[in-house]
A and B are shown apart, each in its own frame.
Chain A
Amino acid sequence: MPVHEIKYRAVEGELSPGPFRILSVTKFTLLAVMNKWVATTLMAGSGQLLVYGTIFLIMGNPLVRQALQVTQVIDLPIPVILRNFILIQLFICIIMANIAGPRMISPELAHRALPVIYSRPIGRLGYVAGKFLALQVLVGAVSWVQVFLLFLVMWSVLPPEHLFHTTLWTQSIPLMARAMLIAVLASLVVSLFGLACSAATKNFRYAVVIFIAVMFGASFVSRVAQEVISSNMPDIGLFQVFMTLTDQLVHRVRGVVDRPVTGALLSLGVWCAASLGYLLWRLRPVDVYGE
């Protein structure tokens, strides 16, 4: 029936279950976030995989090296490659979260769309889960997904006699698992923190500033506390925490455990709990009216 002939009709048929509604939040959040320059920046960030792939092909495959007449290649140990890779990815991950995260909730707070969203059969947790998934699509793509792809690239490109293949089950896979875990933690913390900053203010520009200020502020406070009070003070800055964790990738292989990772993991737990707690508190249904 043409639309102009329909006055009003009731909805018939089955309604979709809860998880699909959460995915709707994810889908429409990504559509809303993706304005021109944000999309371009994010695409550029994700395009790095192509660059890494090319470098690996050149450095890892002797035939390619021979063809390109590359004679001097520093053969870095795999843990060092992973460590450097994760640290670079962490920066990209933070930039991604800082570009996309603040745009996820702030605009909905600004024009008070949350009361009508909450009037749908989706709870606060469902809404937050949908937003988290949306940010994970972007942040996860440059963190744990990249580490996994790196593993696949190494597995397919490195020659069979390489240490990677000869110690695949004893060293390479456990190492990769640890690296994946660090990358997953990084994307988790950064996503939750990005969303918490977005929920803190109605203006996404302020959210960007809050994100940078808190992240650098925590690192600064952590450094000062370690220098002024005691060097045994736990790291609370995300950069230091991830430095500690990624260092372990190298040190564990060498049998050296210079700093326990318990403090670093605890700090990450605090970041996650504080971000999630603030997010859920800030988005209480009765508070989203902005009265």
Chain B
Amino acid sequence: MRITAVAYAVLALFALMVPLLGIYPVFMMQLLCLAMFACAYNLLLGFGRMLSFGHAAFFGTAAYATGWLVTAHAWGPGTAILAGVVVAALLGLAVGTLAIRRQGIYFAMITLALAQLIYFVCLEAPFTGGENGLQGVPRGKLLGFLPLKSDVVLYYVVLAAFVAVFLFIRRVVHSPFGQVLKAIRDNEPRAISLGYEINRYKLLAFVLSATLAGFAGSLKALVFGFVTLSDVQQSTSGEVILMTLLGGTGTFFGPVVGAAVVTTLQQYLSDLVGGWVIAIIGVVFVACVLSFRRGIVGELAAARWLRRAPPPR
């Protein structure tokens, strides 16, 4: 417990000092957005054991909505982000309602197919800029006075948003709702026999996860100033799965570690090996599934407490 507290304190200090340490703030903001995305995803996979293969749909659609409102309608960043999040939530409600009708691998295939449908809509829709995407998305001023144009100001805004989402997810998981969700994950028939309407719990988890994924996407649109088709593409859904799996599904901090590792790897490996990055990510995937299914944080925790429990099945 004490080690965990110290680790969190060190991390918090590091996160606050990033602009002083000379680390490129845009890279850190990208990392935080993806970490938020992975934490949102983990709520669904780690605590609800629902493997969505289409989370890029929520991330990307919210990014498009925010980017479009800011660029074409000169909305402020705050309201545009809020609108993006609402769009993601509604989309999550629609996709979730369909997907939770089946379980396990079917759930995965359905989310994948519906995300592909959304991808094609984004490709053809008049306001997404098709193959070019949305370029030159302005950051504007948050609440009318905070100049997000400055990387440092935006960094602290993104950091605050990330911390808020992280704490929110902890709160959700520790709430009665989260406990029922975990019960459904561990033994669905039993949860049903105890009288829980499991579909309502699953749907709420799905919508929450989609909403927070959309929040991450909206922030990403402002950070980079562009939205492209790759934000709604299947490869992005795959990346968020990898981050969560690699870091540790069902742990609070795992997705953050996973996002940090994958983003850093992509950044440095693409200089070293160029286009082989995709194949290397595939190798990491295979290694993860075969030898450490608990992920980095999960394995560390298991080793620390010497719980010689067998790997997850």
Q: Are A and B a genuine interacting pair, yes or no?
A: no
